Each structure stands twice: as C-alpha cells, then as structure tokens.
C-alpha cells in the first residue's frame, strides 16, 4: 500500500511528495557524503561547490493577466519577473526565501523551502484564477551553488554561454547545455552561480565539476 497522499480539489490533482516525517528525503548526492568532504577536504581553492538539497521547485506556466499577476505576487511575496532572462529573490517572505526564475515567455521556475512546496502548490490551486499549469518538480531536480575566484573559468569548460559580466549580469538566468546534460543557470554574484539540474544527472554533473575544477582546486561546502 502506498504512503503517498493524494488530494483532489475541484478536479485538480495535488500530490504531497513527503506527507509524513517517516518518509525521509535524500539528496541525489547522498552517496557522495559531501558533509565529510566539506569537513575533511581542502579548505582553499578557486572553485567552491555546495548542494542546496531538497528545496521546493515548482514550474508555473501561464500568460498572466493583471489580476493573475496580483494573485501570484500575493501568494509568493514577490512579483513574477516579466522581462526575459531575469529573476527575483526575496529572503523574508511569509514562507521564507523565495526565488523566481524566468524560463520562457510563459514559464517560470519557483524555488522555495522544501517543506513549503506542497502548501504553496495547494494555495495556488485554491486561489489563482484563470488558466495556468503548476507542476511540483522538487523530486526530479536539485540545486548546485558554485562560486569562487575561478568559477567562471570552470564554467567556461561546461556551458556555451558568454559569462562576461556585461553579457551575463547578476540576476540573469538562462536554460542551457551543461556538459552533456542541461541546467538552468542564474548568476547570483560576480563569482557565484546557481545551477538547477535534473536529479538523474546530478551525480554525473558533480563528477564533471570535480574534474573541471581540478586545476583550480575545489572546496566543498554544506548548506
């Protein structure tokens, strides 16, 4: 018998991926024991790596009318970034830190604390008017944070994107190839980037980052 809880609201199916504390979520890099590497490995290097595991990630698709935009801002605590390739982040919303990444003309990636994803999804279906699609992709993705003095050099080996600060300013976001997989890449600072990657490719991309960072020195951190 399944432990997954399914609720139906006005013909909309919402699934709680972690309905009880008995269901323990694990990072796709659980086997790599990043905590031990962080404490026992190198403490200095040109590239720093951190996995922000088990965050809540939701994909929103709609062509928002003014009323929808107001409703979404009320739900998230931040307004949708409407300009292409832009993003917004607010640390102190009612549900904690919320980031929204523009993915396409009618698509956004919403990143929230993991334990808020199901409740937020439920409130969207209860509150938001008009046509829209909201999909919880938390279980299929994870978030890497890469930073350091040599992070741009490392990323130049990995993605076919001009990373010069004039062409890729802080806050810009792109969906692109990363090695032989893909990632949604957002610049958080001059030498800091967020990579949203598929869970099934997380181990491969972790190994790739290790290899691409070898000449600069890799420091692993925990969130």
pLDDT of residue 45: 98
**Residue 110 placed within a domain:** yes
Confidence (pTM): 0.90
Rounded Cα gap, residues 86 and 5, in angstroms: 35
**Residue 59 placed within a domain:** yes
In CATH, what number is assigned to the domain containing residue 90?
A: 3.30.1360.120
Provide the residue range defining the domain that includes 185.
29-222
**Residue 24 placed within a domain:** no
Mean pLDDT for the chain overall = 93
**Residue 132 placed within a domain:** yes
| Residue range 104-141, pLDDT digits in tens | 999 999 999 999 999 999 999 999 999 999 999 999 99
Number of domains in the chain: 1
| Residue range 1-29, pLDDT digits in tens | 455 555 544 556 666 766 667 777 899 99
Residues in the chain: 223
**Residue 188 placed within a domain:** yes
Mean per-residue pLDDT, 77-99 = 97
pLDDT of residue 157: 97
**Residue 17 placed within a domain:** no
**Residue 14 placed within a domain:** no
**Residue 52 placed within a domain:** yes
């Amino acid at each position: 018998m399944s432990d997954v809880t399914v609720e139906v609201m006005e013909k909309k199916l919402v699934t709680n991926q972690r309905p009880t504390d008995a269901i323990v979520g694990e990072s796709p890099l659980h086997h790599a024991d990043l905590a031990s590497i962080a404490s026992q490995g190198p403490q200095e290097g040109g590239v720093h790596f951190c996995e922000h595991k088990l965050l809540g990630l939701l994909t929103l698709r709609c062509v928002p009318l003014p009323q929808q935009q107001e409703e979404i801002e009320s739900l998230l605590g931040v307004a949708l970034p409407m300009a292409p390739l832009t993003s917004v982040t607010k640390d102190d919303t009612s549900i904690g830190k919320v980031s929204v990444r523009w993915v396409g003309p009618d698509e956004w990636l919403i990143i929230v604390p993991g334990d808020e994803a199901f409740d937020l999804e439920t409130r969207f279906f209860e509150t938001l008017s008009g046509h829209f699609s909201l999909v919880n992709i938390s279980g299929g993705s994870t978030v890497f944070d890469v930073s350091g003095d040599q992070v741009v050099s490392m990323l130049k080996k990995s993605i076919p994107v001009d990373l010069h600060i004039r062409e890729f300013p802080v806050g810009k976001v792109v969906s692109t190839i990363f090695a032989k997989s893909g990632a949604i890449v957002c610049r958080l600072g001059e030498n800091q980037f967020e990579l949203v990657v598929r869970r099934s490719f997380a181990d491969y991309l972790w190994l790739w980052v290790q290899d691409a960072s070898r000449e600069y020195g890799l420091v692993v951190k925990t969130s």
